């Protein structure tokens, strides 16, 4: 049960995850909180006091538009950090719920701030953690804005593959902790499209899917699909970007 992998506090010393940076200096003091499947860690609008680093299980984070549309903004597994969006306004902008039974480390934000003030290193790490989050969302925007459905799906699977590998788990066989609807929301697709895509990729031999269990079979093909080729609105292979950020197709 890969997703359920539980981290001991000491694991974070070697862990490369986004939350790992900010945790070490706190782990002595920090408490934990258990969540059962479906339990909410925080909801949008709620006042922000603590950051959380996932110890085990899986969470999803989502924003809700005024009219009720839901967009899943990310999935968090062991080592990932949750709650950075609350720093800006003092209110959580997004909700977070447990997809599976989960456990999180609790980091009171005032302590993070104190720590960050006390050491230049701590400050740097905290900022870096936030900036990494920005980079992650930029990548996701790129996926949502420029990729076709199958490419998004391939990127999504490869992303999870890498993250599981980072936790010392199999990068080719894993269990997605979330239903099709959540994957769809995250990728800007409907659940039907997600289901169809997984079936198609299976038919084409790139992976094996059994409910939420995934077995990635053809990494080169998945990588090719996810990015190297056939990007929407980018037909020329030898195209470059000029100073204006325009695609400049080189002759020859």
28 binds DNA (CB under 7 A): no
251 binds its own copies (CB under 8 A): no
232 binds its own copies (CB under 8 A): yes
The span from the CA of 122 to the CA of 179, in Å, is 37
199 binds DNA (CB under 7 A): yes
231 binds its own copies (CB under 8 A): yes
Task: Please report, as residue ranges, which positions from 185 to 204 form the binding site for its own copies (by CB under 8 A).
Answer: 185-188, 190
182 binds its own copies (CB under 8 A): yes
Q: Which stretch binds its own copies (CB under 8 A): 3-11, 203-211, 212-220, 233-241?
A: 233-241
DSSP string, the chain: -GGG----GGGGGT--STTTTTSGGGTTT-EEEEE-TT-EEE-TTSBP-EEEEEEESEEEEEEE-TTS-EEEEEEEETT-EE-GGGTTTSB--SEEEESSSEEEEEEEHHHHHHHHHH-HHHHHHHHHHHHHHHHHHHHHHHHHHH--HHHHHHHHHHHHHHHHHHTTS-SSEEE--S-HHHHHHHHTS-HHHHHHHHHHHHHTTSEEEETTEEEE--HHHHHIIIIIS--TT---TTEEE-TTS-EEEPP-
97 binds its own copies (CB under 8 A): yes
Task: Please report, as residue ranges, which positions from 128 to 157 form the binding site for DNA (by CB under 7 A).
Answer: 148-150
Residue 143: CB partners within 8 Å, gap ≥ 6? 151, 152, 155, 156, 187
67 binds its own copies (CB under 8 A): yes
Give me the least distance between CB of 69 and DNA, in Å please.
Answer: 10
Binding site partner of 113, from its own copies, DNA, none, Cβ cut-off 5-8 A by kind: its own copies
Q: Which is nearer to its own copies, 156 or 169 (CB)?
A: 156
47 binds its own copies (CB under 8 A): no
Binding site partner of 211, from DNA, its own copies, none, Cβ cut-off 5-8 A by kind: DNA
Binding site partner of 70, from its own copies, DNA, none, Cβ cut-off 5-8 A by kind: its own copies
Binding site partner of 199, from its own copies, DNA, none, Cβ cut-off 5-8 A by kind: DNA
Kindly list the residues in this chain that would bind DNA in the complex (CB under 7 A). Answer: 148-150, 179-181, 188-196, 198-199, 209-212, 232-233, 235, 244, 246
């Amino acid at each position: 049960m890969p997703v359920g992998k539980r981290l001991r506090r000491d694991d974070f010393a070697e862990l490369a995850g986004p939350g790992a940076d900010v945790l070490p200096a706190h782990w002595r003091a920090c408490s934990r909180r258990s969540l059962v499947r479906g339990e909410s860690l925080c909801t949008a609008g709620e006042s922000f006091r603590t950051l959380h680093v996932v110890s085990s299980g899986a969470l999803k984070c989502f924003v809700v538009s005024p009219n009720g549309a839901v967009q899943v903004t990310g999935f968090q597994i062991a080592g990932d950090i949750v709650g950075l969006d609350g720093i800006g306004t003092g209110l959580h902008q997004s909700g977070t719920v447990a997809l599976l039974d989960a456990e999180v480390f609790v980091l009171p934000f005032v302590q993070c701030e104190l720590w960050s003030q006390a050491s230049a290193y701590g400050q740097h790490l905290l900022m870096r953690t936030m900036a990494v989050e920005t980079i992650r969302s930029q990548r996701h925007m790129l996926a949502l804005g420029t990729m076709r459905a199958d490419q998004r799906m391939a990127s999504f699977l490869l992303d999870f593959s890498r993250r599981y590998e980072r936790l010392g788990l199999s990068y080719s066989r894993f269990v997605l902790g979330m239903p099709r609807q959540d994957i769809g929301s995250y990728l800007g697709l409907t659940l039907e499209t997600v289901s169809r895509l997984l079936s198609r990729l299976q038919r084409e031999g790139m992976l094996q899917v059994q409910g939420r269990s995934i077995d990635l079979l053809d990494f080169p093909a998945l990588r090719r699909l996810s990015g190297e080729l056939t990007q929407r609105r980018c037909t020329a292979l030898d195209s470059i970007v000029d100073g204006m950020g325009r695609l400049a197709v080189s002759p020859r």
